[in-house]
Amino acid sequence: MQKNIPTLHIKNKLISLQKPIVMGILNVTPDSFYEESRINTDVAILKKASQMLEEGATILDIGGYSTRPDADDIPIEEEIKRVVHPISVIKKEFPNAIISIDTFRSKVAREAINAGADLINDVSGGNLDTQMFETVASLKVPYILMHMRGTPQTMKTLTDYENIIAEMMTYFQSRITTLKSFGVEEIILDLGFGFAKTIDQNYFLLKNLAVFEQLEFPILAGISRKSMIYKKLDISVSETLNGTSVLNTIALQNGAKILRVHDVKEAMEAIQLLEYLK
């Protein structure tokens, strides 16, 4: 029996995920863990957006709140200020660009969608803002549901699991049921590499990524330049491109349909080369 081809409905666009796609990361935070990804002027934003779109990114992911471990908490109004203008600038220059807002705050999500963003990427899975699911439903946009425990400030201390896969499956099933009760059907799953997981747990999840395909929603892999690479290899963040490509390839082989990356060209090459093996 042939499997249905996974798709995403984003506003008036239907995106096939038969071939995996790439989400390019645009950080408008001053303290993102990967310094070279930080951008804070209109010229730099448009240059980076243009480069990523030309290199093949299907989605641009814009975030104004750093979720690296121990990152500073910032006021909602500051986060809105950081993300709304860049979204407007990109949409004006590239009206067909698909933009994801990376936030766990419903008010930020609403302002970003009103400014032109097309989907919501929530690292907290709705757990840090009780209004998020209702907001997603009212906006009628796709939602990226990630697994995390605690907050960016506390997640490093919350890595004890009896059975990490079973517990994460229960988490996703529960959150999906709640989302569906609000009428949200366009859902993407993100295992949350680096969020309330040890390095060894990250690799275990990567190895077993395909288990989560049974939930029947597209899987996003966000591994790009993370500590699970540079700490294992004892290198700097700036030296992690090769390791990122290796792990992205493994994620694709294990069922990932979306790669969230800092380096679009290399991710597209990984997808293209794996397509030749099919």
Torsional sign, CA 267, 273, 275, 278: negative
Choosing from 82, 225, 226, 257, the catalytic residue is: 226
Burial class of residue 109, CB neighbours in 10 A (0-12, 13-18, 19+): buried
Tokens 């201390």 locate to 157
Asked if residues 110 and 134 have their Cβ atoms less than 8 Å apart, the reply is no
Tokens 């366009």 locate to 186
CA distances 14 to 56, 137, 218, 221, 276, Å, are 17, 19, 14, 21, 24
Distance between CA atoms of 165 and 201, rounded to whole angstroms? 10
Length of the chain: 278
Is residue 226 part of the annotated active site? The answer reads yes
Choosing from 197, 260, 265, 278, the catalytic residue is: 260
**Catalytic residue set:** 226, 260
